[in-house]
């Protein structure tokens, strides 16, 4: 099995990449689903602060790779030659996923101003409401180790143009990983 490990700062466009992959019948597993489930299990409101606090708590109690260990179980159950795991945060998670399949790290990037605009426009409970929250969330992602994973990327998708251009870039990436 080949695993596309998708990494990128909030608002870069990973969700849009996922839509393109799913339209190509490529299964997508989202790392943050583990954290969202844990927030709900703890009876907490689903918001940016609780998501980040629970993510930190899980990693402090069970190791930096705890989310990947839980996701790896789901990935192993998927009957597909190619799977995408969205939301990689650190190299420890990459290490776990390498035990499941051949990993290709794909970063999705966009300018900060663009990402901030996307997140405030999207307006989900996990999205920042203002620039201060945006900067706080950025720091949290870097603290998790995301910048190190982005630097390790095998392939980069720069998402700074139209949705149609992004779709084309995803298809180019799929050719890169050997998906025809």
Report yes or no on 105 lying in a domain: yes
Q: What is the pLDDT of residue 180?
A: 67
Q: What is the average pLDDT score of the chain?
A: 93
23 within some domain: yes
pLDDT at 64: 93
CATH number at residue 20: 3.40.50.300
Q: What percent of the chain has pLDDT over 70?
A: 99
Q: Comparing C-alpha atoms, which of 72, 59, 49 is closest to residue 145? A: 59
Domains: count for the chain = 1
pLDDT of residue 150: 95
- Interatomic CA distance for residues 142 and 139, integer angstroms: 5
Which pLDDT tens digit goes with each residue over 52-79?
Answer: 899 999 999 999 999 999 999 999 999 9
Decide if pLDDT at 47 tops 90.
no
156, 109 contact by CB (below 8 A): yes
pLDDT per position as a tens digit, 88-146: 999 999 999 999 999 999 999 999 999 999 998 887 777 788 898 888 888 888 778 89
Rounded mean pLDDT, 1-28: 95
pLDDT digits (tens, 9 = 90+) for 147-157: 999 999 999 99
Sheet holding 102-109, edge to edge: 28-30, 82-86, 2-7, 102-109, 155-158
Which of 68, 99, 84 has the alpha carbon at shortest distance from 29? 84
For the range 110-118, what are the long-range contacts, defined as Cβ-Cβ under 8 Å and sequence gap of 24 or more? 110/8, 110/9, 110/11, 110/12, 110/13, 110/158, 110/159, 110/160, 111/160, 112/138, 114/11, 114/160, 115/9, 115/10, 115/11, 115/12, 116/11, 117/11, 118/11, 118/13
Residue 179 lies in a domain: no
Per the structure, the complete domain to which residue 131 belongs is given by: 2-174
Q: Which tokens is 1 given?
A: 């099995």
């Amino acid at each position: 099995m080949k695993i596309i490990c998708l990494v990128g700062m909030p608002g870069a466009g990973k969700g849009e990449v996922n839509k393109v992959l799913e339209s190509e019948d490529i299964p997508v597993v989202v790392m943050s689903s583990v954290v969202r489930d844990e927030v709900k299990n703890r009876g907490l409101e689903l918001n940016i602060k609780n998501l980040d606090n629970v993510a930190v708590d899980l990693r402090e109690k069970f190791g930096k790779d705890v989310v990947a260990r839980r996701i790896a179980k789901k990935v192993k159950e998927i009957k597909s030659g190619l799977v995408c795991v969205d939301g990689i945060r650190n190299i420890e998670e990459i290490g776990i996923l390498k035990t499941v399949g051949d990993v290709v790290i794909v970063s999705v990037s966009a300018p900060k101003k663009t990402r901030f605009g996307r997140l405030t426009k999207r307006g989900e409970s996990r999205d920042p409401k203002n620039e201060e929250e945006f900067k706080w969330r950025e720091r949290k992602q870097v603290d998790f180790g995301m910048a190190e994973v982005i630097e390790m990327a095998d392939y980069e998708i720069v998402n700074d143009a139209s949705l149609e251009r992004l779709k084309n870039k995803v298809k180019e990436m799929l050719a890169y990983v050997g998906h025809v």
